[in-house]
Structure formats: structure tokens, C-alpha cells
Structure 1
Amino acid sequence: MEQTKQELVIILPEGMKDVPVRIVRDDQSDELNIKIVNLTETRKEKSPSTEKQHVLIWHQNEYEHLSLDAIMWIEANSSYCCIHATENRKFTMSYPLARIEERLPKSQFIRIQRSYLVNIEHVKKLAGQSLIIGNHILKIGEGYKEEVLNRFIFLGVRGSQPREAKNVK
């Protein structure tokens, strides 16, 4: 007789995690050591990410595939946007920056001023009031500065001296 791999899953409410479980098969009784599994985490591991990682950009009468990781920054210019990607690729489209920003993951992209949306993975440096991406300097708008700075962890001294030390005499 061919054996098939079978599994019995018992789902207990949160409050019953310490209740012993006993399995009875015919006239045999077995105590079980139970491994508690967080069902939510198990589902996350097994299911693919729901966050999309690729875009199709309308370019020269067809859609061109681009990984989100390849987008360095997006620049608004009047009613057009220019997507600056790795390998010196640029895509110009008649599509508002606000609509693009809505569609991209906020964990990866941040608005640094009215005209720029930046992939934080491509930020090389923060210099004064600007971010350096590749060989390009993109100025951070005054209204966006606090939000941009809050997206990074700063190690070492920021400014002439640490904030805590300023009021010490």
C-alpha cells in the first residue's frame, strides 16, 4: 500500500496556547510536543510579496519593462515627467508626478521637493540641503526637509555639534 504524506493542522485560539493536546488513534493515545507557529508569518513566507517590484513605462508606442530598483529619481517638468534610471536611461512621459508618487511604494520613494521623487536606495550622500544621486545634486525643498531627514538614521555628528550638547555649559 502506497503511503501519502498527510498532515493534520489544528488551529487553536490565542488563549489556548498552553492547553495540552492529546491525539487518539484507534486504541493508541499519544502526547504531543507542539511547535507554536504564527500563522500570519507563515502566510507571509509562503505567499509572494503583494508589493509590485516592476513597472511598464509607455515609451515609443510600447511598454518598456523597468525594475523599481533601476529608477534613481523622477523629475517633473511642467506637464511632463522624466524618469532617470540606471545605465543612463531616461523616459519622458506626459503623466503627473503626483500620480506616479501615488503608485510607487512609499518605503522606497520619497518626495524631496515639488519637482523630485527619489529612490532612497540610490542616495549616495547628503550634502548641505541636497542629496547626491549618481553624479547629480538634487536640492531638498524647505517644506520637505524634515520628512526627508526622518527617513535616514544618522550616525555621528550632524551640524557643528550634537543636539544634546548644545545646551550644556
Structure 2
Amino acid sequence: MTLSCIAVDDEPLALGLVCAFIQKTPFLHLTGRYSSAVEALQGLLTGPPVHVIFLDIQMPDLTGLELARVLERSNRGTNITRIVFTTAFDQFALDGFRVDALDYLLKPFNYEEFLRAASKARQYFDLVQRTEVAPAVPLLTPPVEPVEDYLFLKVEYQLVRIDYNDILYIEGLKDYVKVYRQSDPDKPILSLISLKSLEEKLPISQFMRVHRSFIVALNSIHAFTKNSVQIGSAVIPVSEQYKDVFGQFISRWL
């Protein structure tokens, strides 16, 4: 299936790059480009249906987050539209999750990273087609279950299936990771993959990087402070680099 897309960014170079990436991707079709969120809103409310919006966050007059909330309230009724945020500021990641963004690209990003987000959009709409989701779904409603709720990791000479719901936390050790699981917390799985590469494979709605050496499963957190996370008997530090995003996440309970 071909997905119709628009790109919104007030920086001409960034806008041009996203448009070029869209046109380079066979299953995407660029139907509009806008240098402001206000222009994009007008086009969305009066133009043809759009599957995916590649949307910058920091823009004058109307930010990308504000546009997402306006579209959610407007309830365009017959169209399923998903947003991929593009921004140079990682502190907006949690806000992106809260408005149900499909993905979040941190500038500067390359085509491989863009293609990963675009492929996630294609998987989503393929699933919508296969499950015959009714078209009358409000914009940015809670997503259906992901296409996959597991991944395979290379462990010694075989690929081992790891269910997302079984993961407690992940520790990075140079070129390896240790995956700690609910099913066997005393025997972590050791796999030859970098923490960054594994982070890119995990759903952003379920996992958060809190330290250069740790990723935690959000549903497995038992207790926390502003500087640490407790999962079972493990106390995991939250480093300065990730405190802003983590602080926004925990602010709802403080």
C-alpha cells in the first residue's frame, strides 16, 4: 500500500531533506509540504486524506505539538492519520508519546533512520487493512496493538525470541547487551548487539533509555526517584543526559 504524506518544517533545508526522503521511498507519496503548522492545518482540514505527517515540533505561531492537539480535537472523522515528529530537541520525546505519535526522529537523522520510521507507518496501516479497522476512527486515537510484540536476539549460535512483556531492563556492555527477564531474572540473556542498536528496535511506548548503559521497561518499574529506578531488587541510575525526559515521565506522580 502507498501512504500519502505531508512534511511540515519551518527550516527550508530540513523540509527539503524530509521531502527528498519521502520521494525516495517507494511506498510513500508526497502530497504536500508546508513551512508552518498554520499552513499545514489549513491543508489538512480542507485537503484530501493524509496517512502520515512528518512534523517538526519547534515552529513559530503554532508548534507541532499544538497542531497535533488541534487535530485531535477537530476529530476529522473518516481518516486515520499518524504523526512522526522530527525535532532537534530530545526533551519533547515524552510529549510526543502523549499525543500518540507513531515515531520520533531526532535531528540530524539519516535516511536509514527515516526509513525505519516510515516502515513502522507502513506496518501500522498494513495491520489496519488486515484487521479491517473501520474507517470512522478519530485522528490520533490509541493505536491498535503493534504488528509484533517480540523480537529475536542472537544468543551464541541461535536466534532467541524475547517477548517485550518479559523484559525487565537491559544493560549495555560495550558490544553486548544483557537482557533481564521476568521469566528468569537471575539468568540474563547475553547477545552480541550494541545498546543503541537494540534501542532502535524497541517500541518507544514501552521502553525508555535512562542511562548510557541501561534501558528500562516502563511497566516493570516498581519505584523511582529523580535519580534512580528500581526494578525488583535492581536499582538503576538515571544519568544527567536522560533526566529531563525521565523527569517529564515521572512528573505525573510527583
What's the TM-score, normalizing by structure 2? Answer: 0.43
Q: Check if 1:46 corresponds to 2:144.
A: no
Q: Who is 1:144 aligned against?
A: 242
Q: Check if 1:77 corresponds to 2:77.
A: no
Higher RCO structure, 1 or 2 (CA under 8 Å, sep 6+): 2
Q: Equivalent residues in 2 for 1:96-115 (5 A)? A: 96-115=194-213
**SS at 1:138's partner residue?**
strand
Rounded to whole Å, the distance in 1 between the matches of 2:245 and 2:226 is 15
Larger radius of gyration: 1
Q: CA deviation at 1:90?
A: 1.2
**SS at 1:151's partner residue?**
helix
Q: Equivalent residues in 2 for 1:84-163 (5 A)? A: 84-87=180-183, 88=185, 89-155=187-253, 158=254
**SS at 1:73's partner residue?**
strand
**SS at 2:222's partner residue?**
strand
Which of 53, 67, 79 in structure 1 is aligned with 2:163?
Answer: 67
The alignment-based identity, stated in percent, is: 18
Rounded to whole Å, the distance in 1 between the matches of 2:80 and 2:175 is 43
Q: CA deviation at 1:51?
A: 4.1
Q: CA deviation at 1:117?
A: 0.8
If each structure's helix is expressed as a fraction of its own residues, which one has the higher value?
A: 2
Q: Is the 8 A contact 2:226 2:243 kept in 1?
A: no
Q: Who is 1:57 aligned against?
A: 153
Rounded to whole Å, the distance in 1 between the matches of 2:174 and 2:154 is 18
Write the letter of the residue equivalent to 1:143.
Answer: Q
Consecutive unaligned residues of structure 1, counting only runs of 5 or more, are: 1-13, 16-36, 159-169
**SS at 2:148's partner residue?**
coil
If each structure's strand is expressed as a fraction of its own residues, which one has the higher value?
A: 1
Q: CA deviation at 1:91?
A: 0.8
What's the TM-score, normalizing by structure 1? Answer: 0.62
Q: Is the 8 A contact 2:151 2:164 kept in 1?
A: yes
Rounded to whole Å, the distance in 1 between the matches of 2:175 and 2:157 is 19
Consecutive unaligned residues of structure 2, counting only runs of 5 or more, are: 1-44, 47-76, 82-127, 134-143
Rounded to whole Å, the distance in 2 between the matches of 1:59 and 1:84 is 14
Q: CA deviation at 1:101?
A: 0.6
**SS at 2:242's partner residue?**
helix
